[in-house]
Structure 1
Amino acid sequence: MVAAACGAVLAALTALPAHAHPARPAAPHWELKDTGVTARLRGLAAVDRDTAWVAGTQGVVLRTADGGETWRDVSPPGAAGLQFRDVEAFDARRAVVLAIGEGDASRVYRTEDGGTTWTESFRNTDPRAFYDCMTFFDRRHGLAVSDPVDGRFRILSTGDGGRTWKVLPDAGMPPAQEGEAGFAASGQCLVAAGSRDVWLATGGAARARVLHSSDRGMTWRAADVPVPAADPARGVFALAFRDRAHGLAVGGDYRPDQPSPQAAATTTDGGRTWRPAAGPPPAYRSGVAWLPHSRTAALAVGPAGADLTTDAGRTWRTLDTGSYDTVDCTPDFGCWAAGEQGRVARLES
């Protein structure tokens, strides 16, 4: 039943002509869900079509278990001054959220009861560190990344589902470029695929790069990515890998008055080399996700709209002009997007 539904939606998406309007009933479109908040929701973890977590400014964390019809405010107590930029959920009850910022503003909280109670499991004590994103390989093993400290990106590791964290040695991390950093725009600057592979997206320096580790963050190899760079506002903002080899990178220049040509790239060798999209999105994009049960279809989102690729990232066409910062999809075709002013939507056909 689920497979049939997924197939129908995917068929409709891949058949969508470039001039189709998302409001037409025959075309898949984003259906807005009323969250009741005005926070900017850059953190998103989709569990399935019914269950999703979002996190954002003002220390807000929300959870739905009915497809977005209702949302429960499960924000950690005393977190109103924090900016949550990433949430990773294992199911409807267990999730980990990351707050960003300099010094002790960077924190990690964990819940095991759907957000009824939270435990602060990490608080940064180094004023030079600024954590941007996190990812999990499985329910136990995960990483978080900070902007460079002493000239190298700092990696935080957990082996118990986010209950405890430790800083990994940086001997296997290549030196950072001058001005290089990660972008805490969508919770997708650090992503994993499989049990050991992880990729880190960077920007703000002379060249945009993606760093890859095949040993859970102990050693890394850097590769240049052909997206806009050479400015603090430019680089790779989000990554998505459907397996160890095939990945997508999106980004550009986040300033609304600046163009973002060639703001997408693809890899077929695990991030060793990257090729620019022949037909990239028309503007800066901060989030990207592969569609489930497809080797060629994916969605990208940003403040100026959402785009679809049906050829594994070589070309993109606009699906919607709504503002979103991040996107996530689940095996039962629960594709969700979130962004400014409490915006959350689910893809409907």
Structure 2
Amino acid sequence: MTAERTLDRRGVIAGGVAALAAGPALASDGLGGIVMPASPTDSELRGLSPTGGKSYWASGSKGWLIRGKGERQDPMRIIGAKGLDFRGLHAFDDHHLLAMSAGPGPNSQLWRTQDGGKTWKRIFANQDPDGFWDSIAFVDGRRGFILGDPTQGRFTVLYTANGGETWTRLKPEGVPPAAPNEGAFAASNGCIAMGKRGQVAFCTGGAGKARVYLSRGGGGVFVVMDTPILADAGTKGAFAVAFGKDNTLWVCGGDYKNPTAQGVNLARLDPGRVTFEPVEAPPGYLSSISVRGSTVMATGLAGTIVSRQGAPFERISPAPMNTVRLTSEKSGVLCGPRGSIGLWKA
């Protein structure tokens, strides 16, 4: 991982916010709209994990976390972690949460609360000075993965089987060698995803073509595939992946320094296929994608787009966001710049 790539991922929002000022939420017939309550922080929010109903957790820069329920937001900061950038979250329930910070070397850390944020404990930290964590995801209450940028020529994939208490790096030889300048983006905690029957996928950029690494056996051995999303610069590539209920694998991306640029920003790998196909969508950089049933929603600095029941994608809001998590086929939560939270309802 080069210093330039590290700075790209750490500063992923800096160039984009100025380019796209937040606007009012839009509504399209049958697609609903996004409500954006007033924000209690100026944190750059990227981590997002719903916990059921209208409840969710969000996290971001300057050590901020937000416990939310609908439009209510209760911000908090962890003592001893106010300088960290919490870009990844996994909530096991409303009270039990893992918060992952992203950063070079020991700035990548994992913290746990089991009492709804009253007390926190640091349970794991990156010991590799060349390492940089990008994303965290869990299969269930015990099995989970952390994706980190390449060290020693290959991406770092950490695995836990005890809910995050201990982590082990998967055998490096199971991950194909990274291309020069290739890395993952810690933009939305979305660059690694779990599918059915042990499938694990992560996406990358910066190496010409954006690529997806896919394991069909629980992360033991990955194969790598090109996508039609361009990645011919350190600011370009695939930023997030998500599996659909039928094991369709979606990937989104673009160029965060040019969020309104034309070009492929969305692609799909259908079950049984070996090639990603571009998906027609409104133009612009997308950093996060979420799938629930027949609803697919993606968001980024260019705004939020959605497709329901196989219909073409439409933009429902121009407001820049970083992350989206659908909570049902008709509802979802988003987070983004300047502490913004968005609540979508069809």
Please, what TM-score do these two structures have when normalized by structure 1?
A: 0.87
Alpha-carbon distance change, 114 to 251 in structure 1, aligned in 2, over 3 angstroms:
same
TM-superposed deviation, 1:317: 1.7
Deviations 1:51-72 (CA, angstroms, capped at 9, x unpaired): 10001000111112x3232x22
Matches within 5 A, 1:107-186: 107-186=109-188
SS of alignment partner, residue 231 of structure 1:
coil
SS of alignment partner, residue 343 of structure 2:
strand
Overall identity of the aligned pairs, in %? 31
Q: Which amino acid aligns with 2:339?
A: G
Please, what TM-score do these two structures have when normalized by structure 2?
A: 0.88
Q: How many pairs does the alignment contain?
A: 322
Q: Which amino acid aligns with 1:318?
A: R
Alpha-carbon distance change, 24 to 197 in structure 1, aligned in 2, over 3 angstroms:
closer
- For 1:91 and 1:35, locate their aligned partners in 2 and report how far apart those are by CA, in whole Å: 23
TM-superposed deviation, 1:46: 1.4
SS of alignment partner, residue 266 of structure 1:
strand
TM-superposed deviation, 1:27: 5.5
Which structure features the higher share of strand residues? 2
| 2:102 equivalent to 1:105 | no
Q: What corresponds to 1:50 in structure 2?
A: 54
Q: What corresponds to 2:94 in structure 1?
A: 92
SS of alignment partner, residue 207 of structure 1:
strand
Q: What corresponds to 1:5 in structure 2?
A: none
SS of alignment partner, residue 171 of structure 1:
helix
SS of alignment partner, residue 36 of structure 2:
strand
CA contact 1:211–1:220 (8 Å) conserved in 2? yes
TM-superposed deviation, 1:257: 6.5
Q: Which moved more, 1:176-185 or 1:259-268?
A: 259-268
- For 2:278 and 2:104, locate their aligned partners in 1 and report how far apart those are by CA, in whole Å: 33
Deviations 1:24-76 (CA, angstroms, capped at 9, x unpaired): 89761101123401101011111223210001000111112x3232x222432
Q: What corresponds to 2:5 in structure 1?
A: none
Matches within 5 A, 1:154-233: 154-194=156-196, 196-233=198-235
- For 2:76 and 2:217, locate their aligned partners in 1 and report how far apart those are by CA, in whole Å: 34
TM-superposed deviation, 1:300: 0.9
Q: What corresponds to 1:325 in structure 2?
A: 322
What are structure 1's unaligned runs of at least 5 residues? 1-20
Which of 302, 305, 326 aligns to 2:303? It is 305
Q: What corresponds to 1:31 in structure 2?
A: 35
CA contact 2:111–2:120 (8 Å) conserved in 1? yes
SS of alignment partner, residue 261 of structure 1:
coil
Matches within 5 A, 1:11-22: 22=26
Alpha-carbon distance change, 118 to 67 in structure 1, aligned in 2, over 3 angstroms:
same
RMSD: 2.0
Q: Which amino acid aligns with 2:241?
A: L
Q: What corresponds to 1:68 in structure 2?
A: 71
| 2:337 equivalent to 1:340 | yes
- For 1:227 and 1:332, locate their aligned partners in 2 and report how far apart those are by CA, in whole Å: 26
Q: Which moved more, 1:188-197 or 1:48-57?
A: 188-197
SS of alignment partner, residue 106 of structure 2:
helix
What are structure 2's unaligned runs of at least 5 residues? 1-24
